[in-house]
Structure 1
Amino acid sequence: MLNKISIIGLGYIGLPTATLFASRKLRVIGVDVSAAVVETINRGDIHIVEPELDILVRAAVGSGYLRATTSVERADAFVIAVPTPLAADHKPDLSYIEAAAKSIAPVLEKGNLVVLESTSSVGSTELLARWMSEIRPELSFPHQAGETSDIRIAHCPERVLPGRIVHELVANDRVIGGMTSKCSEAAIALYRLVVQGRCIVTDVRTAEMCKLAENSFRDVNVAFANELSMVCDKLGIDVWELIALANRHPRVNILQPGCGVGGHCIAVDPWFIVDSAPEEAQLIRTARNVNDAKPDWVIGKVDEAVTQLVNSGMPAEDICIACLGISYKPDIDDLRESPALEIARTLAKRRDTMVAIVEPNLKTLPEDLRLEKVAFMRFEEAILEANIVVLLVDHAEFKNAKPKLKSAQVLIDTRGIWKDAK
């Protein structure tokens, strides 16, 4: 019987997940290492931008079904939704998962279910089981006792789109990989409480690989579009027109290029596969390298524009570069692995030109961008002030605008939405 559920990690996935379980009138304990996050949630507020989430959190906290804390408590089921970043050498950093495992282990009781939702390299769920078993040798775990284990463990990767997380957590199919069939059954019973999509069972390693494969597929396709944009620029071809024409073929669907690839999934997950099979994952590695190189290519285009203005007689210190958008995708505040943020940081740290940053989804700039020659501006102000306009993220505010730039202004549109601006 699932009466109390604990969600470990209250970020972009953990908090919506906790809230949905609480909305079904289940007692939910949300755990996060940040006291500020815990305090915010217990006030009924949220620390991230996600449609509908603020209303749901307020209702869940107000009704008493959701409570946040910094300490793990006993529960019937534990869902781990902590970060899985990359180390400097592109190797998976599983330290957050290990820390979660070691925090859960002391409160585990026979019959408990532990689900790893964090995107992770193949074999991580088995490591999770071993880390917990080392602390609780009196309990049996699936890698030791199989179907008769005291503790059930499964992997269930989230597959949601920021901006639609609440809807997709309910509507999307879920891939569930239990370490045993009884582990899978226990996980299905948990997710059936909130998921309307299908719960599809596989083994634990396939479930781990499924999320990595999905995001690597997308990364490879984006890399093709990004590489095509650089080729077309060199050959004097409008890549946006080219893609529109090519996509009229009934079996061609080229994606739209941008300034790179960001977010904690597509920009990270392919490296997990490369780390596991470095000799075999050649295409996946190449796609990552192409997408990681795109911000430098954009910076190169800005440098060309700066040189052009300086050669025309304008001092570099008088040049203002407007960076439009620094989140990793449109209409959200998420800066994780954002190529637009990387571009803005690089330009700002040079300090030889003024940099104006427009980000309608943030109230303040990240601390490392609060520099002397960096200004946080409104869209209209930046368009008037800038000599070079660099459109990095196609936020709705930018797409709906119809700017008419002056002939002396340089436009670098990485999203192809302002064809008529000049």
Structure 2
Amino acid sequence: MARQFDFDICVVGGGGHVGFPLAVAFASRGLRVCIYDINAAVVETINLGRAPFLEPGVAEPLQDALASGRLVATTDRAQVSVSENVVIVVGTPVDQYLSPDPEAVPRVVGELSDLLVPGQLVVLRSTVFPGVTRRVEKLLAPDHPDVDLAFCPERIAEGRAMTELFTLPQLVAARSEQARKRAGALFARLTDVVIELEPEEAELAKLFTNSWRYIKFAAANQYYMIANDLGLDFARIRDAMTRDYPRSADLPGAGFAAGPCLFKDTMQLASVTGGSFALGHSAMLVNEGLPDYLVRRMEQEHDLPSLTVGILGMAFKAESDDRRSSLSYRLKRVLAFRAGRVLTTDPYVADDPELLPLEQVLAEADLLVVGAPHAAYRDLVVDVPVVDVWNLLGEGSLL
């Protein structure tokens, strides 16, 4: 007889930016979902009907899923055993030497091995180093020949999860036809289009996607520096390039290219190639160097040691409370050495005790820098110079 499971899905690491909206999305489609996370505070927050971070559109389906009993969050690892599909969402960290840890996901799978039972489908949802899926296959094979494995990388952007989970095609990869069909049927509950690949193809597809975005941002930032050094406004030039001209339409604006994914995944590709990913390395130099470039230009235009500089926005992107890998913090560190004082503010970030109210920063700053282009700053009227690489205020990006 077929095994009966208490849950259709258990999302391991389900309290994070990838796992949490995925769990809510599946629950909104009528599936019984368990979020397993080791962070007790996050689990409590979810069970109280609150999102652990800012994600538009998640509040109502979360509360509906909790009220109906379709969604629970727990720190009890035993719930993995009573779930038909186990979706593992853990990050692939980069160490102090900027080298990715390819053992992060296999390590978590190994820690859960004693909980896996015949008939389950294990889905790796993390962005992984190429070859990790095969390594997990070998890890599971001796003790769990009756557990299927698939790799289905996440594709959402923070802040758009509750739209993109239902509209973007899902990549589904597995070695066996059975695992591929099971994973395809699972994600077809969310979206109409499922694209089947081999695991290694899907691993590279995800890394190529993130590094491609990172390289495009680097091109824009390099163009910004060139134009700025010539005394020209890149925002005006970009507008002329892209307006009603399809061959330049995908050129992004200048700004901090940061966050927990793009830099890290470009580093993973650089590691895969043995350090020969020249485009990726160049992109990292440009994007990570933008805060330093801005400070050098500010030093040329202003007497920084005598000034109080205010940074508006410390999240890594607009309308986000996520400050992981935010280049605003790199800017803050450089300015702390060069300027008289540095003040920071952000309307969304809640876990930084050094943040000040916007009104105080505006009152005390002699010079302002837009770090994250939050919409709340768009209509500010100030009487001090503003460094606005994003052209958020519409006054140009020339520094």
User: Common fold, TM-score beyond 0.5?
Assistant: yes
Aligned: 1:132 with 2:119: no
Aligned: 1:363 with 2:350: yes
Pairing 1:44-193 to 2, within 5 Å after superposition: 44-72=49-77, 73=79, 74=81, 75-133=83-141, 137-140=142-145, 150-193=146-189
1:43 to 45, 48, 51: 48
- Number of residue pairs aligned between Structure 1 and Structure 2: 387
Other-structure match for 1:376? 356
Aligned AA for 2:93? P
CA contact (8 A) 2:323 2:349 kept: no
Other-structure match for 1:403? 381
Aligned: 1:217 with 2:215: no
Other-structure match for 1:17? 22
| Deviation readout 1:305-350 (Å, 9 max, x if unpaired) | 55x265xxxxx3xx321101111111111112111122124434x4
Q: 1:250 to 1:58 in 2, by over 3 A?
A: closer
Separation of aligned partners in 2, 1:352 and 1:171: 46
Other-structure match for 2:329? 341
Give the deviation of 1:15 after TM superposition: 0.6
Aligned: 1:271 with 2:297: no
Separation of aligned partners in 1, 2:313 and 2:380: 16
Separation of aligned partners in 1, 2:226 and 2:239: 16
Q: Greater CA deviation, 220-229 or 69-78?
A: 69-78
Aligned AA for 1:30? I
CA contact (8 A) 2:304 2:338 kept: no
Separation of aligned partners in 2, 1:236 and 1:346: 24
Q: 1:420 to 1:404 in 2, by over 3 A?
A: farther
Pairing 1:241-390 to 2, within 5 Å after superposition: 241-248=236-243, 249-253=245-249, 254-258=251-255, 260-278=256-274, 280-305=276-301, 308=303, 316=306, 319-348=307-336, 350=337, 353-365=340-352, 367=353, 370=354, 376-378=356-358, 380-390=359-369
Other-structure match for 2:235? 240
Aligned-pair Cα RMSD in Å: 2.2
Where does the alignment leave 5 or more consecutive residues of structure 2 unmatched?
none
2:247 match: secondary structure: coil
CA contact (8 A) 2:84 2:121 kept: yes
Aligned AA for 1:154? A
Aligned AA for 1:39? E
CA contact (8 A) 2:362 2:382 kept: no
Separation of aligned partners in 2, 1:243 and 1:393: 20
TM-score under structure 2 length normalisation:
0.90
1:111 match: secondary structure: coil
Other-structure match for 1:227? 222
CA contact (8 A) 2:321 2:350 kept: no
Other-structure match for 2:196? 201
| Deviation readout 1:181-206 (Å, 9 max, x if unpaired) | 2211110121122x223011010000
Aligned AA for 1:388? L
Q: 1:39 to 1:243 in 2, by over 3 A?
A: same
Give the deviation of 1:357 after TM superposition: 1.4
Aligned AA for 2:381? P
CA contact (8 A) 1:326 1:344 kept: no
Give the deviation of 1:383 after TM superposition: 2.4
Separation of aligned partners in 2, 1:351 and 1:300: 9
Separation of aligned partners in 1, 2:364 and 2:350: 20
Aligned AA for 1:7? V
| Deviation readout 1:236-290 (Å, 9 max, x if unpaired) | 11111111122244412321011x3111222221111111113542112211221
Q: Greater CA deviation, 16-25 or 76-85?
A: 16-25
Other-structure match for 1:412? 387
CA contact (8 A) 1:305 1:388 kept: no
1:30 match: secondary structure: strand
Separation of aligned partners in 1, 2:270 and 2:229: 30
Q: 1:106 to 1:241 in 2, by over 3 A?
A: same
Give the deviation of 1:403 after TM superposition: 1.4
Give the deviation of 1:396 after TM superposition: 0.7
Give the deviation of 1:17 after TM superposition: 0.9
Give the deviation of 1:39 after TM superposition: 1.6
Q: 1:54 to 1:94 in 2, by over 3 A?
A: farther
Separation of aligned partners in 1, 2:338 and 2:280: 36
2:391 match: secondary structure: coil
Give the deviation of 1:414 after TM superposition: 1.6
Separation of aligned partners in 2, 1:245 and 1:20: 40
Percent identity, aligned pairs only?
A: 29
| Deviation readout 1:45-94 (Å, 9 max, x if unpaired) | 22110012122222222222211122322111110111112122222124
1:26 to 25, 28, 31: 31
Separation of aligned partners in 1, 2:229 and 2:281: 24
Separation of aligned partners in 2, 1:216 and 1:397: 30
CA contact (8 A) 1:328 1:341 kept: no
Q: 1:198 to 1:26 in 2, by over 3 A?
A: same
